[in-house]
Chains A and B, each alone.
Chain A
Amino acid sequence: MTALRLRKKAEDAAAALAALMIRAERAAHSVFQGEHAQRKSGAGEKFWQFREYAPGDRSQDIDWRQSAKADGLYIRQKERQLPQTALFWACSARSMDYASSSRLPAKRDAARVLTLSLAILMTRANERIGMLGAAQTGRSEAALENIGAALLAERDAAELPFLGPHRAQKNATIFLAGDFLGASGEMEACLNNIAAQAGGCVIQILDPAEIELPWSGRVIFEEPEAKIRELAPNVASIREAYKKRIHDHINAIRKISSACGWHYVLHRTDTPVDKTLMKIWLEMRNVRNA
């Protein structure tokens, strides 16, 4: 996937989301508005509270309409809002190159598109964005380009994120996209480490074939990088057992995420990216509102 195509796909996904975003905004006004409510008075757009006028307040802050209703003079205070930082990480393991059919994107491509779409939406919402572990964050087009370049350039086949010396900023939201097919113990250790610093969302990307095992007959399944070869004399007969295993694994990841207070979203590569984006939004909003 070339840089241009990746960017275009991400833009398309984000553009298709525009209508959804409007709906989402309507539903949860504050979600991803860019400025995040701090639940105390300060500089911001939203009304926070009326307070009685005290000497030293600026006279232009007096809300005359409110004051007219009651006896005293009232000051209109706005809620304090701060920009947030979103950090991204996309799994670069070899297994991400897998696509069960030529019609479906590889998991790696899905991860890239998802990550960049999220980044685009974040910049539109005036958030700061950056790659997890990278030194710089920003809210400009250059930051987007940095992320795009980082996504395309990744070479080390890392199955799990590694938090470098740069500690994530406070207020940061971390998005981890990958297939997370490794042992759930490693995943737990890694996530606990990161979750100690910031909240975020685990986006598990799986190919439908990995979930459904749609083949039949006599098949040898091969996993080249792990050097695993499994002969299934009759795939149909072991399908149910396999499905149970893979669902157990998915649930394990989900549990690990929620145990850390993180969100979890499963993305199947045969579902449109914008649908998953919407799911991520709703997920984040629910918890925030709760």
Chain B
Amino acid sequence: MNFLSNIAFLNPWMLSGLAVLPVLWYLLRVTPPAPRVIILPTARFLAGLVPETQTPSHTPWWILLLRLVIAALTIIAMAGPVYNPAQELQGSGPVRLVMDNGWFSASVWEDQTRAAFEALSQAERERREVFVLTTAPEPGETSPLYEGPMAASQAKSLVKGLKPLPWPADNKAAAQAIHKGSAAQIAISLWLSSGLDEGGMKDLAKALRAQGPLEIIAPGPESLPILLKPAEDSESGALKMAIISPSAMPPGRSIAAHALDAGGRIIDQQTVTLKPGAESSVTFDPPENLRGEIARIRISGTHGAGGTYLLDERYRRKSVGIIGPSPDTNPKPFIEARYFLRRAMEPFANLSEGQAEDVIKRNPSVIILPDAGALAPEALNGMEKWIKEGGLLLRFAGPDMAAAGESAFLLVPVPLRSGGRALDGALAWEKPQKIADFPETSPLYGIALREDIYVRNQLLADPVPDLDKKTWAALEDGTPLITAAPLGKGMLVMVHTTADAAWSDLPLSGAFVDILQRITGLAGMASVRAEPGGALEPTLVMDGFGALQKPDASAQIIQAAEFLSVTPSSRHPPGIYGRGGYELALNLGDRIKSLRTPESLPAGVAQKTYGQQYERDLLPFMLFSALVLLLSDWILMIFLAGGFRLAARIAGVAFCLLLAGASARPAQAEISPQDIKYASGLYLAYVQTGDPALDSLSQRGLENLAAVLKARTSAEPDGVVALNPETDPLIFFPLVYWPVSPSQPDLSNAALSNIQNYLNHGGAILFDSRDGAGAEGAINFTLSRLVGKLNIPSLGPIQKDHVLLRSFYLLEAYPGRLTQGALWVETQSAKGRDGVSSVIVGANDWAGAWAEGDMIRSTMTGATRQQELAFRFGVNAMIYALTGNYKEDQVHVQNILERLGQ
């Protein structure tokens, strides 16, 4: 009853059509189905036959019922049934729809649009005018969209075109848009809110309230938006993220975060339980080799731009090679430069150490050369080539370099003066110097320096005109400490002091790690370093749902110097900004610190939550059911007209298909172990003739031939098989020996088709008529009686250069027990056999010769040479059956050799 009470009709008067149903019933009942016309030659015998029973042929009652239901459904559908009908809108004037469409709307967008459409449908029914206002500025603009008045249907297509935008809403700008718009009194304003206050919500509520009543619809606390950002306490370079959620959210919700590569493939997944009002952190620890692939982090589900965090160069691990004397030993703690470098860089870089040549060979992104004297020319040349191809060389000064003087001052960004500058010597005037704050043009800008870092010793740069531009860091007195210059596609960076604590405190401070990380992050970005402070262009921007796309004209460039302070906005959507390969990511999570729910709203504002149940139009459902019933009625009519034989036939076909499906599997499983044995090895085979003496002769002959094959060729037969073509499958055997015996009975059709199938699929049969018939045209009647019905291509006497006589031995003759018999092969081989004869017909009784024990009795000339030749023919026949025309070229080898000789 609950379901029925929730149904309303838009055109209830249409239901009066139901009154026609009884009339329809009467009409359908008395009109019997049309008779079928059947041609029957014996129709004359039907003349005047009076039916025994006078039952009138009426439409069956269930068909009547079916048709009445179809009619009723159609009438009800026409009346416009609606499930859960929407509430009527307040007042009677125009309706204003306020759509939140900032980044936080992505997660509740479905609710928002559904509520908007419900309200618009109701407005359409009530024929009210509609205003539509959004809260986030349009792309490239500063003010949001405000349209109206318009018809509700027009508003529907407008709302359909709305999308959440990837930047925060600007409620103040929205309030201004209202002031600018028409001052007409609004009957009701519906604010479809995302549930978050980005500031100014109160102002906008006041502005809306001033023109009429206001109703705010917000999502329930469980579907409030959440934001993905880097964890506050994350070490730089580590993939530690945090998810913040509004404090109103119920605790304990579990969410999965994915690390994706550029193509959207999931590389790592972590699950995290949300802590409302606080950060819940999640750390990704993918395998080292995949870490560099990670392009973005994303909360699974629809969370829009706030649920996606783009990673840039700062998060990629670089490979760094450190050139040192002995790569295998562990450096001495706190003494060697390698120790400091290792400790500083291990968290964010893949380190390798070794001699210059080895390091260059590994082709790292960055090579660090701590305090080196004069380098070997090969090492210098190799390194220069590597830098010009895009490498970054980071040098540290030191006593060795200072001592080596000019000869060590190759591959440096600025010319150096010989001899170090000692600031803290017994005889020095100067005090140790602090490091000045990094200038804004420097890539190191923003790194915090502790007060107690002193530089006691350094190598001095020659004052050349462009030294300022090349200086990234300087001491407080202005002498350059870190200088850099491009070289080819690569970069030279020089730190004018040591990488250990001998000349300065820098390696002992945290700033050392930051500096190394910044410099490492610059590897492969020549142009930015050449011109720090350039403008960054948008290369990829996010849409409201967090998907990356090419930017349009509304996305504008950001000055590199301002980048860190830019908040994503309608002019600067979140995304990847960069130039010439240097890329930085602008993320909502980097800039937005907390999520707030609205605190207090002006009095008289009604608040609601998005409903779980929405109005549902039942018309399509009704019409569809009517259509389905109509189709089933039609099928029933076919069955009734065609009688049940048609049904039986269809059922029969279906049953056969079922049976075929069911029987297909067991049939596949049945492979006899014998077949497996034959298929997995090489077996010689002969056909049983039914003559025991002949069969045993064939058996022994083939056994001997098998031994010969094994001894002389790479064909290693596993045994000899006697075949009965009536019952045994032949397909496993490359060659079948068939001694023709008059005592063999005629073959059945099944056996013939078995043999034909064998020949058609690559098999070969060696017929041996055993009568020594040599003359051409001599017909062996037994053979023609046995296999005359087979489809065999025409045969001809063998040519001297036939492959069969060349396949292993070069044979001139092919004797068996007899010597004069002719040998016949196919003159034109069947299609697809590459000229290989499927049938070899001979008369020399080879099995008789192969069966050794019988030699003395049967070899007419009594020579072992003849037996040897018989074996050679057997070997050739077997190799021929196995390799086909492979040896055909051998026939021409004489010609080929002659041509090569010329």
Is A46 part of the binding interface, using a Cβ–Cβ cutoff of 8 Å? no
Q: Kindly supply a per-residue 1/0 record for chain A positions 234-247, scoring 1 wherever the CB is within 8 Å of any chain B CB and 0 otherwise.
A: 10011011100110
Known contacts A218-B32, A238-B50; A228 and B57 CB within 8 A of each other = no
A220–B55 CA distance with the chains assembled, in angstroms: 17
Q: Kindly supply a per-residue 1/0 record for chain A positions 215-245, scoring 1 wherever the CB is within 8 Å of any chain B CB and 0 otherwise.
A: 1111111111010111111100110111001
Known contacts A210-B41, A242-B45; A215 and B643 CB within 8 A of each other = yes
Is A123 part of the binding interface, using a Cβ–Cβ cutoff of 8 Å? no
A238–B52 CA distance with the chains assembled, in angstroms: 7
Chain A residues packing against B (C-beta within 8 Å)? 95, 98, 179, 181, 207, 209-210, 215-224, 226, 228-234, 237-238, 240-242, 245-246, 249
Tell whether, in the assembled complex, residue A221 and residue B51 are in contact, meaning their CB atoms are under 8 Å apart. no
Tell whether, in the assembled complex, residue A233 and residue B44 are in contact, meaning their CB atoms are under 8 Å apart. no
Write out the residue numbers on chain A whose beta carbons fall within 8 Å of the beta carbon of B640: 217
Q: Kindly supply a per-residue 1/0 record for chain B positions 670-706, scoring 1 wherever the CB is within 8 Å of any chain A CB and 0 otherwise.
A: 0000000000000000000000000000000000000
Q: Kindly supply a per-residue 1/0 record for chain B positions 22-40, scoring 1 wherever the CB is within 8 Å of any chain A CB and 0 otherwise.
A: 0000000000110111111
Is B42 part of the binding interface, using a Cβ–Cβ cutoff of 8 Å? yes
A223–B44 CA distance with the chains assembled, in angstroms: 8
A207–B41 CA distance with the chains assembled, in angstroms: 10
A220–B43 CA distance with the chains assembled, in angstroms: 9
Tell whether, in the assembled complex, residue B51 and residue A228 are in contact, meaning their CB atoms are under 8 Å apart. no
Q: How far is the CB of B451 from chain A (nearest CB, A)?
A: 105
Known contacts A210-B41, A216-B643; A234 and B57 CB within 8 A of each other = yes
Is B49 part of the binding interface, using a Cβ–Cβ cutoff of 8 Å? yes
A229–B36 CA distance with the chains assembled, in angstroms: 12
Tell whether, in the assembled complex, residue A221 and residue B43 are in contact, meaning their CB atoms are under 8 Å apart. yes
Give the residue of B40, B42, B47, B51 whose beta carbon is less than 8 angstroms from that of A237: B51
Chain B residues packing against A (C-beta within 8 Å)? 32-33, 35-47, 49-53, 55-57, 640, 643
Q: How far is the CB of A214 from chain B (nearest CB, A)?
A: 9
Write out the residue numbers on chain B whose beta carbons fall within 8 Å of the beta carbon of A238: 46, 49-52
Ordered by A's residue number, 22 sampled pairs between the chains whose C-beta atoms are within 8 Å are: A98-B40, A216-B643, A217-B36, A218-B35, A218-B36, A221-B39, A221-B40, A222-B37, A222-B40, A223-B39, A223-B43, A223-B44, A224-B39, A226-B43, A226-B44, A228-B43, A230-B47, A237-B55, A238-B46, A238-B49, A238-B51, A241-B49
Q: How far is the CB of A159 from chain B (nearest CB, A)?
A: 11
Known contacts A218-B57, A237-B51; A210 and B39 CB within 8 A of each other = no
A229–B37 CA distance with the chains assembled, in angstroms: 9
Tell whether, in the assembled complex, residue B40 and residue A209 are in contact, meaning their CB atoms are under 8 Å apart. yes
A225, closest chain B residue (CB): B41
* Other A-B pairs beyond A221-B40, A223-B44, A224-B39, 13, CB < 8 Å: A217-B35, A218-B33, A219-B36, A221-B39, A223-B40, A230-B43, A233-B51, A234-B55, A237-B51, A238-B50, A245-B45, A245-B49, A249-B45
Tell whether, in the assembled complex, residue A246 and residue B45 are in contact, meaning their CB atoms are under 8 Å apart. yes
B46, closest chain A residue (CB): A230
A217–B32 CA distance with the chains assembled, in angstroms: 11
Tell whether, in the assembled complex, residue A220 and residue B35 are in contact, meaning their CB atoms are under 8 Å apart. yes
| Nearest 5 interchain pairs by C-beta | A95-B41, A237-B51, A223-B43, A218-B35, A221-B43
B51, closest chain A residue (CB): A237
Tell whether, in the assembled complex, residue B51 and residue A234 are in contact, meaning their CB atoms are under 8 Å apart. yes
B45, closest chain A residue (CB): A245
Q: How far is the CB of A150 from chain B (nearest CB, A)?
A: 23
A110–B162 CA distance with the chains assembled, in angstroms: 77
Write out the residue numbers on chain A whose beta carbons fall within 8 Å of the beta carbon of B32: 218
Tell whether, in the assembled complex, residue B49 and residue A179 are in contact, meaning their CB atoms are under 8 Å apart. no
A92–B47 CA distance with the chains assembled, in angstroms: 24
Q: How far is the CB of A21 from chain B (nearest CB, A)?
A: 20
Tell whether, in the assembled complex, residue A217 and residue B43 are in contact, meaning their CB atoms are under 8 Å apart. no
Write out the residue numbers on chain A whose beta carbons fall within 8 Å of the beta carbon of B38: 215, 219-222
Known contacts A218-B32, A228-B47, A230-B47; A246 and B42 CB within 8 A of each other = yes
Tell whether, in the assembled complex, residue B46 and residue A221 are in contact, meaning their CB atoms are under 8 Å apart. yes
A-B pair number, CB within 8 angstroms: 94
Write out the residue numbers on chain A whose beta carbons fall within 8 Å of the beta carbon of B35: 217-220, 231
A182, closest chain B residue (CB): B44
A241–B52 CA distance with the chains assembled, in angstroms: 9
Write out the residue numbers on chain A whose beta carbons fall within 8 Å of the beta carbon of B52: 237-238, 240-241
Tell whether, in the assembled complex, residue B36 and residue A232 are in contact, meaning their CB atoms are under 8 Å apart. no
Q: How far is the CB of B668 from chain A (nearest CB, A)?
A: 32
A285–B40 CA distance with the chains assembled, in angstroms: 35
A93, closest chain B residue (CB): B41
A95–B57 CA distance with the chains assembled, in angstroms: 30
A236–B589 CA distance with the chains assembled, in angstroms: 84
Write out the residue numbers on chain B whose beta carbons fall within 8 Å of the beta carbon of A231: 35
A218–B44 CA distance with the chains assembled, in angstroms: 17
Tell whether, in the assembled complex, residue B39 and residue A232 are in contact, meaning their CB atoms are under 8 Å apart. no
Give the residue of A222, A234, A241, A249 whose beta carbon is less than 8 angstroms from that of B39: A222
Tell whether, in the assembled complex, residue A223 and residue B37 are in contact, meaning their CB atoms are under 8 Å apart. no
A203–B417 CA distance with the chains assembled, in angstroms: 130
Give the residue of A215, A216, A223, A234 whose beta carbon is less than 8 angstroms from that of B41: A223
Tell whether, in the assembled complex, residue A217 and residue B51 are in contact, meaning their CB atoms are under 8 Å apart. no
Known contacts A228-B44, A228-B47; A237 and B53 CB within 8 A of each other = yes
Q: How far is the CB of A282 from chain B (nearest CB, A)?
A: 28
A224, closest chain B residue (CB): B39
Q: How far is the CB of A90 from chain B (nearest CB, A)?
A: 16
Write out the residue numbers on chain A whose beta carbons fall within 8 Å of the beta carbon of B40: 98, 209-210, 221-223
A237, closest chain B residue (CB): B51
Tell whether, in the assembled complex, residue B42 and residue A210 are in contact, meaning their CB atoms are under 8 Å apart. yes
Write out the residue numbers on chain B whose beta carbons fall within 8 Å of the beta carbon of A221: 38-40, 43, 46
A215, closest chain B residue (CB): B38
Write out the residue numbers on chain B whose beta carbons fall within 8 Å of the beta carbon of A246: 42, 45
B40, closest chain A residue (CB): A221
A238, closest chain B residue (CB): B49
Write out the residue numbers on chain B whose beta carbons fall within 8 Å of the beta carbon of A233: 51, 56-57
Tell whether, in the assembled complex, residue A234 and residue B43 are in contact, meaning their CB atoms are under 8 Å apart. no
Write out the residue numbers on chain B whose beta carbons fall within 8 Å of the beta carbon of A230: 43, 46-47, 49
Write out the residue numbers on chain A whose beta carbons fall within 8 Å of the beta carbon of B33: 218
Tell whether, in the assembled complex, residue A234 and residue B45 are in contact, meaning their CB atoms are under 8 Å apart. no
B35, closest chain A residue (CB): A218
Tell whether, in the assembled complex, residue A181 and residue B42 are in contact, meaning their CB atoms are under 8 Å apart. yes
A230–B43 CA distance with the chains assembled, in angstroms: 7
A241–B51 CA distance with the chains assembled, in angstroms: 9
Write out the residue numbers on chain B whose beta carbons fall within 8 Å of the beta carbon of A218: 32-33, 35-36, 57
A249, closest chain B residue (CB): B45
Write out the residue numbers on chain A whose beta carbons fall within 8 Å of the beta carbon of B643: 215-217
A218, closest chain B residue (CB): B35
Write out the residue numbers on chain A whose beta carbons fall within 8 Å of the beta carbon of B51: 232-234, 237-238
Tell whether, in the assembled complex, residue A232 and residue B49 are in contact, meaning their CB atoms are under 8 Å apart. yes
Q: How far is the CB of B56 from chain A (nearest CB, A)?
A: 8
Write out the residue numbers on chain B whose beta carbons fall within 8 Å of the beta carbon of A215: 36, 38, 643
A240, closest chain B residue (CB): B52
A9–B373 CA distance with the chains assembled, in angstroms: 106
A210–B52 CA distance with the chains assembled, in angstroms: 20
A161–B869 CA distance with the chains assembled, in angstroms: 77
Write out the residue numbers on chain A whose beta carbons fall within 8 Å of the beta carbon of B55: 234, 237
Q: How far is the CB of B374 from chain A (nearest CB, A)?
A: 102
A218–B51 CA distance with the chains assembled, in angstroms: 12
Write out the residue numbers on chain B whose beta carbons fall within 8 Å of the beta carbon of A220: 35-38
A230–B41 CA distance with the chains assembled, in angstroms: 12
Q: How far is the CB of B835 from chain A (nearest CB, A)?
A: 36
A234–B40 CA distance with the chains assembled, in angstroms: 16
A207, closest chain B residue (CB): B41
Q: How far is the CB of A96 from chain B (nearest CB, A)?
A: 8
Write out the residue numbers on chain B whose beta carbons fall within 8 Å of the beta carbon of A222: 37-40, 43
Write out the residue numbers on chain B whose beta carbons fall within 8 Å of the beta carbon of A228: 43-44, 47
A95–B42 CA distance with the chains assembled, in angstroms: 9
A238–B44 CA distance with the chains assembled, in angstroms: 14
Known contacts A228-B43, A229-B43, A246-B45; A234 and B53 CB within 8 A of each other = yes
A231–B47 CA distance with the chains assembled, in angstroms: 9
Write out the residue numbers on chain B whose beta carbons fall within 8 Å of the beta carbon of A234: 51, 53, 55, 57
B49, closest chain A residue (CB): A238
B34, closest chain A residue (CB): A218
